[in-house]
Amino acid sequence: MEGLKKEVVMNDHKLTLEQLSTKYSVDLTKGLSPKEAQEILTREGPNTLTPPPTTPEWVKFCKQLFGGFSILLWIGAILCFMAYGIQMYFSEHATRDNLYLGIVLAVVVVTTGCFSYYQEAKSSRIMESFKSMVPQKALVIRDGEKMQINAQNVVVGDLVEVKGGDRIPADIRLISAEGCKVDNSSLTGESEPQTRSPDFTHENPLETQNICFFSTNCVQGTARGIVIATGDSTMMGRIATLTSGLAAGKTPIAREIEHFIHLITSVAIFLGVVFFGISIILGYGWLEAVIFLIGIIVANVPEGLLATVTVCLTLTAKRMARKNCLVKNLEAVETLGSTSTICSDKTGTLTQNRMTVAHLWFDKTIYKADTSEEQIGKTFAKSSDTWFILAGIAGLCNRAEFKAAQETLPIAKRATAGDASESALLKFIEQYYSSVKEMREKNPKVAEIPFNSTNKYQMSIHLREDSSQDHVLMMKGAPERILEFCSSYMLNGHEYPIDDEMKEAFQNAYLELGGLGERVLGFCFLNLPKTFSKGFKFNTDKINFPMNNLCFVGLISMIDPPRAAVPDAVGKCRNAGIKVIMVTGDHPITAKAIARGVGIISEGAKIEEDITAQLKVPNSQINNREVKAIVVHGSELKDLSSEQLDNILQSHREIVFARTSPQQKLIIVEGCQRLGAIVAVTGDGVNDSPALKKADIGIAMGIAGSDVSKEAADMILLDDNFASIVTGVEEGRLIFDNLKKSIAYTLTSNIPEITPFLLFIILSIPLPLGTITILCIDLGTDMVPAISLAYESAESDIMKRAPRNPKTDNLVNHRLIGMAYGQIGVIQALAGFFTYFVILAENGFKPLDLLGIRLNWENRYLNDLEDSYGQQWTFEQRKVVEFTCQTAFFVSIVVVQWSDLIICKTRRNSVFQQGMKNKILIFGLLEETLLAAFLSYTPGMDVALRMYPLKIFWWLCATPYSLLIFIYDEIRKFTIRRHPGGWLESETYY
Amino acid sequence: MTKKDKKSFNQSLAEWKLFIYNPTKGEFLGRTAKSWGLILLFYLVFYGFLATLFTFTMWVMLQTLNDEVPKYRDQISSPGLMVFPKPVSALEYSFSMSDPQSYKGYIEDLKKFLKPYALEAQKNLIDCTGGILFEQKGPVYKACQFPVTLLEECSGVSDPSFGYSSGHPCVLVKMNRIIGLKPQGNPRIDCSVSKVGYLQPLVAVQLGLGASSAPKEATVECKIVDSPNLKNHDDRDKFLGRVAFKITMHA
């Protein structure tokens, strides 16, 4: 694994053609023979990427069934069956309660497991639809014959030919090329097409011109080369292997649930053991004590919570999907909320991934063009004659054209054929000047020299529109090259000879635009003399026309502009305490310009360029306020130790990594994680996928993203827009807060559910609350209200606070347990017991006479048990009273849960500030009440669930306690608001 | 790997120790003495308040109760029947006529049960007319006499062994007491398989099983009959207005 993280060593690009021919024993003109190719294919295997080991469906299902929270319920179920077994073995009249409880627990786990499996299967089906299943073809030359074969049959040593529009079938060392450009963005993140030629230009195989990489695209031109690697050994293959070899860590919410399980289990075992001891001391038998122990532990299991949490997460996932964040893994819903660092890719995520004209320079003035996605016309000096000429050159000396049949689309959205910069010019002229098509029809092209990397210019000769006999020569290219051809320049439509002042102005403009990270092109023209009238044969190989003393017109600069919503989104992230780091394969200047444009580097920030100088200064002496932004070059990053990297990450608030390799992205992510950050990584290319996998949450792009990146990611932005991440963060934070509330609500009723059993043991009173009624609360009345808390709106602006600290700010902490169990839960239990004692007393059993009555009460042969008034009760008669009490206890819990639900709506604010706008919550209140009434009053419930109708007055017994809960908590929250950071907050604010 | 595990184990042990007592911060179980004091004080006050409130509401509730009549009697609208000797694990009596030890427990139980019915104990009670409902309106209530002699052979007066030694074992059937219950009609307890000395509210069943050497069995079922408001059949409650028991006698 570590080996893969290192940079790839490759030297094929350094070889001469002869060496290459020898190394792969192939004829550079005829290629391999079919027989040789077949042999190699058998030996090396097909040219495909080994698909990442897919988890079998049943394993996924089992993970849902036995992962995380479910394990708690399974243990509960097993304990129940054990208890039932023990009871069965030793007593014939064993109650079936434990058996039922065990079955219900198992059913709950299986149902929720199926539910979340179904949810995830659904989102992975959406994933499947992304995959394109078109088989790739490749043109190979074997024995001198060109043949189309399936790309997977290409072997090492094959001579292949690629042309514009093809996907590169393998890693290729070029031996010849004509105007070849490749789009390496999926591998390196560079947004501009790269020129490819047979020349060895750079030590780094990724940057040298004579290598084309598997699965990148050839944009234009043609090239021939020898395959030097296929399948998994290609650059792309290595990255894919690196990705699938990385183990994705646990999601933060999974860690939180684990922490919660630890807490709950500790409480359960503590209570169980204490009461085991007590029951032994009270003289119960060992067996009974063990049954009690199991009973208490199981009673602590919040049966409904697993379902509640799953439903809450699902609801949020759905809400996020509506806002273009598709969550692959349910648990990842919350992860964005706790994210403290976002490592964002540049191309496509922050930018539009579309070259657009940004600035023009003519008449010695820089004009700004509109780069927004909508491209609604914005005005600049259109009246100048220079502009007409400049527009003419940009439109005519241009090989790009619109693809057919998209006249209805806005110009910016139309697809074009041709180089990215030329397309940008084409769209720009179409938008701001006139129809390029008409222009070209009026000024037909008679000769052309296409752009190449040695000339660095493009020239074309057109018939002039105004005089059909004359020609005009137009040229565009690298500004310094263009200026060399010129002797005059145009100012407001008039020609002037070039002087030093103009040269200086030109230099300044060129530097300024270049400094913005923009690609600058110069434009010039020459009206050819009459001697070159219509019909003259222009020869572009042996130039037979003048190509000097041209007239310089102006500069046009282009950039892949930031998406409109991104600066705002970055600002929101900043407010939310999230550090946004740009990690890109692109050049530092472009990266820096975009970073400034979107606010990753804030305006006026001093950028530290020379990190080596800084590293010599001891850490303590670095003035963080002065050097808060930094641009790190990939080549520098390579030499850094992990301590130095940590240092950079820690001491700079604004960081841009440029020219980074996939391996380095991974190292950066690991560095952030080492510093305790929860890292989100966005990316679309294959090069991003290792980092996506390693990140706490990997975010892939739905439109531009490669399959590999989508596979590795946890979340997919359906609109490729960075701004959608902010929505995700907001939703994630909200669900974390609301889960806390939901859990607090659900846990509270655990106390009135456990205490009856405890007092049954200690005081030997008739059992105040039975297993069935407990289940009715946990899986019945509590469910909808608990879920409704997921719809609760935020108490304050959650996007203005720092991300939670995963170490200290837990989902469930001792304060939550203290509040739920120690305070509200106890009041609830008292409410239940009060109701219980009222009913028994009103039926003849006064509270004091109940103490110690258990053995007689439970004796089914004692049918004349006397109450406080001397009345004699048969076993069944007192059981009916007991079950009536249990029903009333259940109803009391519902009554006190009303106010618990209302107080759980907020953690700090008063309910009067928060309001009762949550309609689902109001529905929840009604639903639990109606359900309780239904369970109590429906005829036949006495047989089915042993629940009995209650007198109306018994519903009211718990209301004073319900009121007390509300008043107590309002006072508590009022004190917390009054004394921020005070004792009450530190002990009870969860 | 093992080395690493061991280290982490030692580490966690050390962390635990530090959690239990941290000398530098003076923390015990993660809290300083002051912190413990405050939190305990808080809960002391909190629970104290709750206890007071609970006691208060209970007191209020008890004030609403009547000392003589329970507030609701709808849960026992109809009396159950109970048999003596008291059944222990099942409604089955088994004894051997020739072995006094086998029925000693039954006899003692019956004696104990009949003690309050002795003439001595009943002398303060009123002699009521049989067959007429005796209604009173407090505040002082009197009960009617129930002369134990009405039980004849089963009274234990003439036969201290309640017929067990002679193969004529007595089982007493009692109707449960319910305050304010006014039976309608002319209720009586009717037992199938019987040789009944019927007297309300107590009934004695004496079985003539005879003195034969073979073990003998008899199943007896008693019911309250002839009263429209006293139920004698309930699917779930086998003792509501009825009782069934079995006697097995060995020689």
3-state SS string for B228-251: CCCCCCCCCCCCECEEEEEEEEEC
Average pLDDT over every residue of A484-505? 89
pLDDT category of residue A861 using cuts at 50, 70 and 90: confident
Half-sphere exposure of A678 (CA within 13 A, CB side): 24
A320 pLDDT above the threshold of 80? yes
- Tell which wins on pLDDT, A372 or A563: A563
Q: What is the CATH number of domain A302-319+731-796+811-988?
A: 1.20.1110.10
Half-sphere exposure of A974 (CA within 13 A, CB side): 8
Residue pair A93/A860 in contact by the 8 Å Cβ criterion = yes
Longest dimension (CA), chain A: 134
B201 preceded by cis ω (within 30°)? yes
At B146-199, the pLDDT tens digits run 777 777 777 777 778 887 887 778 888 888 888 877 777 777 777 776 544 333
pLDDT category of residue A922 using cuts at 50, 70 and 90: very high
For chain B, first and last CA: distance in Å?
78
Average pLDDT over every residue of A685-692? 81
A107 pLDDT above the threshold of 80? yes
* Two tokens, residue A426: 């084409």
A768/A758 Cα distance (integer angstroms): 10
A349 pLDDT above the threshold of 90? no
CA distance A874 to chain B (A): 6
Q: Which of A761-770, A860-869, B56-65, B82-91 has the lowest mean pLDDT?
A: B82-91
Determine the pLDDT at residue A334: 86
pLDDT category of residue A197 using cuts at 50, 70 and 90: confident
Q: Which of A324-338, A556-570, A713-727, B202-216 has the lowest mean pLDDT?
A: B202-216
Average pLDDT over every residue of A332-347? 88
Give the CATH architecture of domain A2-48+135-245.
Distorted Sandwich (2.70)
Q: What is the CATH number of domain B81-198+215-249?
A: 2.60.40.1660
Burial (CB count within 10 angstroms: exposed 0-12, middle 13-18, buried 19+), residue A331:
buried
Probe site for chain A from B61, B83, B174 (most A CB atoms < 10 A): B61
Half-sphere exposure of B108 (CA within 13 A, CB side): 6
Q: Residue A578: name the closest of A808, A325, A337 by CA.
A: A337
Q: Which of A88-102, A162-176, B145-159, B169-183 has the lowest mean pLDDT?
A: B145-159
- Tell which wins on pLDDT, A251 or B47: B47
- Provide Rg for chain A, Cα atoms: 37
Residue A809, number of CB atoms within 10 A of its CB: 14
Residue pair A935/A945 in contact by the 8 Å Cβ criterion = yes
B131 pLDDT above the threshold of 70? no
Determine the pLDDT at residue A24: 86
Active site residue A166: no
CA distance A979 to chain B (A): 17
Determine the pLDDT at residue A447: 87
Share of chain A above pLDDT 70, in %: 94
Average pLDDT over every residue of A236-250? 76
Inter-chain residue contact B57 with A843, CB threshold 8 Å: no
User: In A, which residues are within 8 Å of B87 by CB distance?
Assistant: 861
Q: Which of A207-221, A792-806, B126-140, B222-236 has the lowest mean pLDDT?
A: B126-140
CATH number among 3.40.50.1390, 3.40.1110.10, 3.40.720.10, 3.40.50.10490, domain A356-536: 3.40.1110.10
pLDDT category of residue B138 using cuts at 50, 70 and 90: low
Residue A873 is nearest to which of B54, B69, B76, comparing CB atoms? B76
Inter-chain residue contact A842 with B46, CB threshold 8 Å: no
Domain ranges of chain B: 10-64, 81-198+215-249
Residue A871 is nearest to which of B46, B174, B177, comparing CB atoms? B177
User: In B, which residues are within 8 Å of A971 by CB distance?
Assistant: none
Mapping DSSP to helix (H, G, I), strand (E, B) and coil, where does residue A683 land? strand
User: In A, which residues are within 8 Å of B46 by CB distance?
Assistant: 823
Determine the pLDDT at residue A201: 84
Determine the pLDDT at residue A827: 97
CA distance B128 to chain A (A): 21
> How is A90-132 classified by DSSP, letter by letter?
H-TT--SHHHHHHHHHHHHHHHHHHHHHHHHHHHHHHHHHH--
User: In A, which residues are within 8 Å of B238 by CB distance?
Assistant: 876
Q: Residue A832: name the closest of A904, A887, A766 by CA.
A: A887
Determine the pLDDT at residue A664: 85
Task: List CB contacts of B82: < 8 A, sequence separation 6 or more.
Answer: A863, A864, A872, A874, B173, B174, B176, B239, B243
Q: Residue A150: name the closest of A165, A130, A131, A170 by CA.
A: A170
Inter-chain residue contact B179 with A964, CB threshold 8 Å: no
Q: Which CATH class is domain A325-351+564-720?
A: alpha beta
A630 pLDDT above the threshold of 80? yes
Average pLDDT over every residue of A308-323? 88
Mapping DSSP to helix (H, G, I), strand (E, B) and coil, where does residue A587 land? coil
pLDDT category of residue A619 using cuts at 50, 70 and 90: very low
A610 pLDDT above the threshold of 80? no
Q: List residues of A whose CB lies inside 8 A of any B CB.
A: 822-823, 826-827, 830, 833-834, 837-838, 841-844, 846-847, 861-864, 866-877, 880-881, 884, 951, 960, 964, 983, 987
Predicted ipTM?
A: 0.88
Average pLDDT over every residue of A688-700? 88
Average pLDDT over every residue of A328-341? 86
Inter-chain residue contact B62 with A833, CB threshold 8 Å: no
> How is B174-223 classified by DSSP, letter by letter?
EEPP-TT----S--EEEEES--EEE-SSEEEEE----S-SS-EEEEEEEE
Inter-chain residue contact A872 with B178, CB threshold 8 Å: yes
A425/A523 Cα distance (integer angstroms): 12
Inter-chain residue contact A869 with B238, CB threshold 8 Å: no
User: In B, which residues are within 8 Å of A876 by CB distance?
Assistant: 234, 236-240
Nearest CA in chain B to A867: B70
Best-predicted range by mean pLDDT among A312-326, A588-602, A889-903, B8-22? A889-903
A845/A275 Cα distance (integer angstroms): 26
Inter-chain residue contact B62 with A846, CB threshold 8 Å: yes
pLDDT category of residue A233 using cuts at 50, 70 and 90: confident
Bridge-based pairing of strands A679-683 and A697-701 is: parallel
pLDDT category of residue A638 using cuts at 50, 70 and 90: confident
At A544-582, the pLDDT tens digits run 888 888 999 999 999 888 888 889 999 999 999 999 999
A431 pLDDT above the threshold of 50? yes
H helices of A131-251, in order, are 185-188, 235-245
Q: List residues of B whose CB lies inside 8 A of any A CB.
A: 38-39, 42-43, 46-47, 50, 53-54, 57-58, 61-62, 65, 68-73, 75-76, 79-82, 86-91, 174, 176-179, 234, 236-240, 243
**pTM for this structure?**
0.82
Bridge-based pairing of strands A579-583 and A341-344 is: parallel
Inter-chain residue contact B178 with A964, CB threshold 8 Å: no
